[in-house]
Chains A and B, each alone.
Chain A
């Protein structure tokens, strides 16, 4: 069974940092793109970042709203992906979800999400 479990969320002050983890099982992590999406309270869905498999160069991409502040990485030996979030803003407050794949292909799964609250 495919599982993705996000962790690391919490309450943080504006300007501070937080690192989210996405621990996975049930599929061959090394062969898959991992993405992060988010959903602000009561709002819709927004793509945040993705990291491709090493087969596709392990390249990363992030939305313009977080570029330069957020960094995505992966540890293929542990089947874990990370989202390092720096210089957090109040508008980054959201539930953050990691997913297997970017949504374009077969076998797309979501975790249960972790809440990040940026507030003083």
Chain B
């Protein structure tokens, strides 16, 4: 199984400041055949289901604000919120799609306002 490790577990950021979340996979999630990293990021607010933010490591889902960006390749990935807004308070999860059996998620990173 591909193990996904997120860091930090939580972070507090001032409004308007940058938030950075890291995700590391235990093996590469880069498909050589199409040069795409099968890594997605989700946002989950309290009492709500997860919402897809980014797939292929850096492609924003339709309707996602451009303050959210994803980067990285192979085994190391980052989700960046360039200017934190109050509505961004949530738990963020990374997930690999390289192997669909099983799909695996990171443990989550809780983002709060400082």
- Are both chains from one complex? no
Residues of A within 8 A of B (CB): none
